[in-house]
Amino acid sequence: MNKTKIILITIVGILVLILLIGFAMYMASNNKVAAPVVNNATNVNPIIESYKNDLPALADKAQGSDVKSIRNYAVALYATGDLEGSKEQYLREKELNPNDAVLYNNLGNIYRDNAEYQNAVDSYQKSIDLDKSQLNVYVNLANLYIYVLQKPEMGYGVYLKGIENSPNNKESLLLTLANAYRDGGLKDKAREAYNEILKINPDNETVKNLLANL
């Protein structure tokens, strides 16, 4: 490629970039749907960035024995990718607050992410034993069995137990169970679960679409 062509391509590229930036500014100034921003910066998650900024203050507050401060620090460490640091804080909280169901669910997530799967199962089960009405812990444990440990029947059983024990979350648990059946090729069971949801909420358009595409 000769020098003239390189210069022309460079000029065209610059003009396109200017037009895109101008269009983005125009959309923003007119309160339209946000247009993509053209820049070279890596996209950042504002929540994670906020946690990063708060870490020193949260660490300082967590020095004592206040379980709320310890958990806040553990959550921030987990959100920013420090699994070992987060686990250490949750284990500290466990010594002070040994019967909190959410604690064991959160600890189970760390064990799962660290591939300590038996510890994850035990922690999730402890969470369920302490509070059978939760939603997240059933989803976490069931999905661990189905998608990670390749024990789908055990995962389906967790969902069914959740539907039995947590009636306020029945619709959500039925949906995740139906999707798991679908992913496992069990279309008849998936169809049955989707129809159960429609008995609860006949206007659920998402489920109607899932049934139509099954």
Assess contact for 180 and 210: CB atoms under 8 A.
no
Assess contact for 132 and 165: CB atoms under 8 A.
yes
Residue 77: give the domain boundaries: 48-114
214 domain residue, yes or no = no
Confidence of residue 133 (pLDDT cuts 50, 70, 90): very high
29 compared with 203, residue with greater pLDDT: 203
Tell me: pLDDT of 155 over 60: yes
* C-alpha span between 209 and 162 (Å, rounded): 25
What is the tens place of the pLDDT at every residue in 66-114? 999 999 999 999 999 999 999 999 999 999 999 999 999 999 999 999 9
- The SS3 assignment for 205 reads helix
104 domain residue, yes or no = yes
93 domain residue, yes or no = yes
Domain count, the chain: 1
Q: Check residue 44 and give its pLDDT.
A: 76
69 domain residue, yes or no = yes
Cα dihedral 52/58/62/66 (nearest 10):
-130
Assess contact for 194 and 210: CB atoms under 8 A.
yes
Using only the alpha carbons of the chain, give its radius of gyration.
24
Assess contact for 157 and 181: CB atoms under 8 A.
no
Cα dihedral 61/64/69/74 (nearest 10):
100
Residue 89 maps to which CATH number? 1.25.40.10
Of 18-22, 73-77, 119-123, the poorest mean pLDDT is in: 18-22
